[in-house]
Structure 1
Amino acid sequence: MTPPRAHRSAPEHTHPDDVPLLTVLAALADPVRVQLVRDLAGSADWERSCGSFDVPVGKAALSHHLNTLRAAGLVEQRDIGSKRLNRLRRAEFDARFPGLLALVLADRPAAKAAS
C-alpha cells in the first residue's frame, strides 16, 4: 500500500505595502525573476502553474525564484489540487510603486551614457 502524500502548507504572502524598495529591487535584479514577472504579466491571473515557465533553471531554483518574488510582494500563489498557480500582483504593486513594473516590463535596453 502506498503511504498517503504529505500536504504542503499554503504559501505565505507579503503585501506590497509591507515591502521596502530595496527588497523589490533585489528581487528584480535577477534575469530569471524578471522573465517570470514578464511571463506572468502576459498571462491571465491564476493561469500559470509553477511548471509552465520556460526558464533555464531546475525545479528547486524555480521555486526559490518564485518565493523571492512572493516575498517582495510581486507574486501571489494558490494551490489548486496538486498545482500551485501564480498571478502577478500588478494593481497592488503599482499602487505601492507607481511606474516600476512598467519599467521592468518595457524591455528596453538601457540608454548609453553620453560621451
Structure 2
Amino acid sequence: MRALATTYRDEKTPDDLPAPLPEPAREDIRLEKVFAVLSEPLRLTIVQRLLTESENYDHTCGWFGFDRPKSTLTHHFKALREAGVITQRQYGLERRSRVRLDDLNARFPGLVDLILDWTPADRA
C-alpha cells in the first residue's frame, strides 16, 4: 500500500486559505455518489496522486500534467468536489484541490486505504 503524502500526515492547515467552494457537509457525503465519481479511472488517479504525491497543501489541475483539455479536467474536479471527495479553493484564477481525508475516513472507514492500494488496469 502506498503511503500518504507528508501534507496529509502533518495535519498542518495554512492560516491564510481562501474559503472552500461549495461542497457537501460531511454528513451529506453519500457513498453511492463517491463510488460513482471514483468509477472513472482518471478521477481515481487524481485522488490517489493527491493523497500520495502532494508536496504542497493543495494543487492546481496543471500540477497533474494530464494531456486533456482544461474543460475536461474542470468537469472531473467539479464532479469530485460535488461528491464530497475533494475540497477546492479559489486562488485568483486558479482552483486548487485537496482530498477531504478526515471526512472520507469518518464517513467510510477503509475507503482511503482502498484508493491508496489501487493499481490502474493498464499497470496491473
**Match runs of 1:1-115 below 5 Å:** 11-42=21-52, 43-44=54-55, 46-108=57-119
- CA change 1:47–1:19 in 2 (3 A) is closer
* Larger deviation, residues 70-79 vs 49-58: 49-58
Q: TM-score, normalised by structure 1?
A: 0.77
State the one-letter code of the partner of 1:30: E
Corresponding residue number in structure 2 for 1:4: none
State the one-letter code of the partner of 1:73: G
Q: Distance in 2 between matches of 1:94 and 1:56?
A: 31
Higher helix share: 2
Deviations 1:39-64 (A, max 9, x none): 11021563311221223421111001
- Unaligned stretches of 5+ residues in structure 1: 1-9, 111-115
Deviations 1:3-57 (A, max 9, x none): xxxxxxx731123420221111001000000010011102156331122122342
Q: Distance in 1 between matches of 2:26 and 2:44?
A: 17
Moved over 2 A (4+): 44-47, 54-57, 107-110
Q: Which has the higher contact order (CA 8 A, sep 6+)?
A: 2
Paired positions, count: 101
Question: Post-superposition shift, 1:90?
Answer: 0.6
Bigger Rg, structure 1 or 2: 1
Question: Post-superposition shift, 1:109?
Answer: 7.4
State the one-letter code of the partner of 1:61: T
Q: TM-score, normalised by structure 2?
A: 0.72
- Unaligned stretches of 5+ residues in structure 2: 1-19
Q: Distance in 1 between matches of 2:21 and 2:35?
A: 22
